[in-house]
Chain A
Amino acid sequence: MMLRRLIDLGITSLVIISVISVVKYVSFPYFLPLIASLIFNLYSRKTLNRHVLTAVAIFLTIFIAFNTTLNTLVNNLMKVIIIFISIKLLEEKRYRDYMQIITLSIFLITSSALLNINMIFLFYIITSIFLVNFLIILLTIYDNLPEYSLNREELKEIFYKTAIIPIFSIPFAILLFFIIPRTSTPLFDFINREDVAKTGFTSKIGLGGVSTIQETETIAFRAIMKEVDPSKLYWRGVVFDIYRDGSWHSSNRTNRINFTIKGGESISYEIYFEPTYDKYLITLDKPVDLKFQGTLTKTENLEFLTTNVISKKIHYNGSSILTESFLDIDSDITHSKDKKGITDSIFALAKSLKKENDTETINNILKYLKENYRYSLTDLPSGKSPVEEFLFRNKKGNCEYFASAMALLLRANDIPARLVGGFLGGYYNKNAGYYAISNKNAHVWVEALVNNRWIRLDPTPASISSFTQRDLLSLKMKFKIYLDYISFYWTKFIINYDLQTQMELAVKFTTNFKTVKIKPDKITNYTLISIILLALTSFLFIKNKRNTPSYFINKFYKILSEKGINIDPSIPIMRNIDRIDDEKLKKESKKFAEEINKMLFKDGKLEKNTLQTILKNIKRL
């Protein structure tokens, strides 16, 4: 096949892979010219005028540049790259131009890493490395001998043998990845994006609008911890205490923090958090302590906030107490008892549900909601007052409606109440020992203040089992959990690898070598295993070398030389032995020669023990 044709095919595949990697981030119209160019490049021998094309490219780039904000910078960069690739494909192409297309494609894939930290990136990059490797080799040949056409056998030889480069580059790159120096702060701090996309739970609950409870199975975070009773797995995130015009907000006050959390099971955990582009951190139920690399703010409502928006995968350690209530003596309840937004009909309903004391009122409201309303994720109440719509007409809704309704009914009965947004349950991965919590697990419940204690109330009728029971999971979901297993380590070792981990790893290595006591840890385990494997293969390699006949013959000659015999390695063994005068030495040497000749030229199998013994005997003489 002509080289040029092969190169064009390779380029097409590379461009397609790179485009797939960014297909989510660039609007469709940009792909049309690219597809046209690809087809044009494959089926037409014509090329278009370079100057005209360059002018078009510059014009389009300027156009895009004018429409660029800080938030759309990366997306627009992708658009520009795509335009340039399309135009390059139309031009007359030489070595240089092909290299430019390859570079642009790699840029495109890399730019996808700025917006997406999914493991699929690894697939894109490795596939493209194999492709690019072969492409550049062909280009090198093409550049030197454009008219040459390789036959199938030559191609195969080149393809298989040069695959060494990408194959060996994988372990090498992984090693480099861990040792490339990291810094704690960026060198130039001008492209730090503010939020780009919001996923998962939010700092605002807007009823009646688009449902914020997502039905996606994407992972929100993972928590390494022991397995606990699933009914206790309330993951606390945001506390909403302000109700305005059908939506809930958080006050985020930090003046006074004075909680006493006691009496439940104490648990410590490590959370690997996917970026939310928000500031709230997730904790398990009632957090006691949180260790995070960076500054943290604890609020009056028992929330934890970071200073900067969480725009990358992070991890932190925490310890919590699993308890239904906690003591908050001088709680500021200005917001929690605020009756703004409660309509008359709600007041009327609240009154009808009132009992002798607060506890009974609460139980009655819970009972009322659970008996008369249905849980649903579709056909949700909307309108001016969604809560009223939910309570009196629609009578079905998701947790946001149940919680909102309950909180308002409590407030109408002078019981301070607020909403807590977070997650419920999770899938426990027994092999890896962590909970995977998907966005589907997002949940909202109520906290009410009774006798200076904030009590957790969950009016939503959906059972916890639907969040947690692994046996009932579909095969697809089970498979997904296994995938998540891999994805978890991807996050843990690759995405969250930073200066601190690098230092830790280095320290671990040095201390482990110094002290005999080795504390097994997953990272060290894997590194140790790979080191052992590496050592083993190199040992086998050396050993293999020691098993060659020439090794023994050289050794034999060396021994004879030491005994003062003039050896010529270019003549056969027996002729060298003829030069020996000493009868005894000659006899033993002949034995060696006979044995090795027999092994080499008769049996074809080397018995190194026999040879070793004879060599030893000769040496002793």
Chain B
Amino acid sequence: MGIRFTKAGVIYIILTIFMGFSAINTNNNLVFLVVSFMLAIMGISGFLGKANIEKLNVRIHPVEDPFAKRGSRFILEIKNGKRYLPSILLKTNLRDREITFIILKPLSSIRQETILKFDRRGRILLDDVMVSSPFPFNFFVRYKKYHINEEIIVFPEIGEKSFFNFNRNAEENTTSTNDKITMKLEELSNIRSYSNDPAKRIFWKQFAKTGELYTKEYTGEDSESFRLYFEDILKLYPLEEAIKIATKTVLEAYNNSIPLTFTISNETYNVKTDADKRSVLKRLALYDA
């Protein structure tokens, strides 16, 4: 909680003092009355200014997954918990990002999107938001720190290199990596009767015709998906670079629906769903950090 007087505020105070002197000097009660009003307004506006930034509830949550060195969208939400008074002209400062909210009615909330950028991967604690407001008269700015204590996990920076060739910018270096871990396009090799297999591998056409369930089998049954060992990448690149490459690869695999099995420190992840992808990225984000 703090207060800082603006230039206008200082001038107002000086004017009040000046008027006070003229009131005493002329002994004119009407001038005294003006001074009284000036003081009263200062006092009440101070109170209102204080109330303006009180009883707020500030929250922040990511709209999309944050990756290091890349701005990602966050929603900043302010809830006004006051029963009667609105909050006007609120400014929030979070990691050098300032957002202004014009008016927030009593018992309502407002959301605003903001872009936050993080320099490194790992856990980041967004501890508090500074809320300030020049309301009501721009004579002073009041501050209050609101704790949000939102821990977010910043995924690693997305590297340029990948084990896939989708990226046109991929250079020789990448291709050489590709040689080491070959990628095969899977081909249908067999159809057998169903036994507790994943739904997506059921031969639905056949099911529709006969009502019996069959499972499709593909070549390289054992390594039905692309396998990637993080430790392998680590052998070729320094840690941070390796993490960047792994991140890029995982993302590309997911985005292009390529089955990928990713192994890191003896933990194996099958990157199929969005949640799988997140788990891997989270693991990479927290690797050695």
Contacts and interface: CB of A to CB of B under 8 A. Distances in A.
Interface stretch (B38-46, B59-67, B192-200): B38-46
Interface in A59-103: 95-96, 99, 103
A143 B138 contact: yes
Contacts of A170: 40
Q: Which of B36, B89, B100 has the most CB of A within 10 A?
A: B36
B29 A141 contact: no
A113 interface: yes
Contact of A139 (B31, B34, B37, B138): B138
A172 B32 CA distance: 13
Interface stretch (B18-26, B152-160, B274-282): B18-26
Contacts of A496: 29
Contacts of A144: 89, 91, 100, 134
Contacts of A180: 20, 23, 32, 35-36, 39
B28 A114 contact: yes
Contacts of A497: 29, 32
B37 to A, nearest CB: 4
Contact of A495 (B26, B29, B88, B137): B29
B24 A187 contact: yes
A interface SS class: helix
A541 interface: no
A162 B103 contact: no
A67 to B, nearest CB: 23
A166 to B, nearest CB: 7
Contacts of B91: 144
A114 B86 CA distance: 39
B207 to A, nearest CB: 50
B36 to A, nearest CB: 4
Given A95-B138, A191-B26, A165 B41 contact: yes
B183 interface: no
A186 interface: yes
Interface string B47-86: 0100000000000000000000000000000000000111
B32 A177 contact: yes
Interface stretch (A8-16, A150-158, A369-377): A150-158
Contact of A145 (B30, B37, B100): B100
Interface size class of B (residues with CB under 8 A): 35 or more
Given A117-B30, A166-B41, A187-B21, A174 B102 contact: no
Contacts of A140: 89, 134-138
Contacts of A113: 28, 30-31, 33-34
Contact of B89 (A125, A141, A183, A191): A141
Contact of B26 (A96, A106, A114, A172): A114
Interface string B198-227: 000000000000000000000000000000
Chain B's interface: helix, strand, loop or mixed, by majority? helix
B117 interface: no
A88 to B, nearest CB: 15
A28 interface: no
B24 A165 contact: no
Contact of B136 (A96, A103, A137, A148): A137
A182 B86 contact: no
Contacts of B21: 187
A176 B34 contact: no
B256 interface: no
Nearest to A135: B137
Among B20, B91, B136, max chain A CB count under 10 A is at: B136
A164 B37 CA distance: 14
Nearest to B134: A140
Contacts of B103: 150, 154, 157-158
B29 to A, nearest CB: 5
B41 A129 contact: yes
Contacts of B15: 103
A161 B44 CA distance: 13
A103 B139 CA distance: 14
B105 to A, nearest CB: 6
A172 B44 contact: yes
B27 interface: yes
Given A129-B41, A139-B138, A186 B26 contact: yes
B125 interface: no
B29 A125 contact: no
B30 A186 contact: no
Interface string A109-147: 110011001000110010001000100110111011100
Contacts of A139: 138
A498 B27 contact: yes
Q: Which of A139, A162, A166 has the most CB of B within 10 A?
A: A162
Contacts of A551: none
Given A99-B8, A140-B136, A169-B40, A154 B24 contact: no
Given A110-B34, A125-B33, A177-B32, A172 B40 contact: yes
A174 B35 CA distance: 11
Contacts of A121: 30, 33
A137 B135 contact: yes
Given A125-B34, A177-B36, A154 B102 contact: yes
B43 to A, nearest CB: 6
Interface string B131-157: 000111110000000000000000000
Contacts of A182: 24, 27, 32
Given A158-B88, A165-B48, A182-B24, A133 B33 contact: no
A601 interface: no
A84 B258 CA distance: 76
B44 A168 contact: yes
A12 to B, nearest CB: 20
Contacts of B89: 140-141, 144
A133 B41 contact: yes
A6 B152 CA distance: 44
A188 interface: yes
A546 B13 CA distance: 40
B144 to A, nearest CB: 18
B99 to A, nearest CB: 12
Scoring B20, B30, B48, B137 by chain A CB atoms within 10 A of each residue's CB, the highest score goes to B30
24 contacts: A110-B34, A114-B26, A122-B33, A125-B33, A125-B34, A136-B138, A137-B135, A137-B136, A137-B137, A139-B138, A141-B89, A144-B91, A161-B84, A162-B48, A162-B88, A164-B44, A172-B43, A173-B37, A176-B40, A180-B32, A182-B27, A187-B25, A494-B30, A496-B29
Interface of B: 8, 11, 15, 19-21, 23-37, 39-41, 43-45, 48, 84-86, 88-89, 91, 100, 102-103, 105, 134-138
Interface of A: 95-96, 99, 103, 106, 109-110, 113-114, 117, 121-122, 125, 129, 133, 136-137, 139-141, 143-145, 148, 150, 154, 157-158, 161-162, 164-166, 168-170, 172-174, 176-177, 180, 182-183, 186-188, 191, 312, 494-498
Instruction: Identify the 6 closest CB pairs spanning chains A and B, nearest first.
Output: A113-B30, A172-B40, A173-B40, A169-B40, A140-B138, A176-B36
Given A121-B30, A121-B33, A165-B48, 6 more contacts: A129-B37, A141-B102, A162-B48, A164-B48, A176-B36, A496-B29
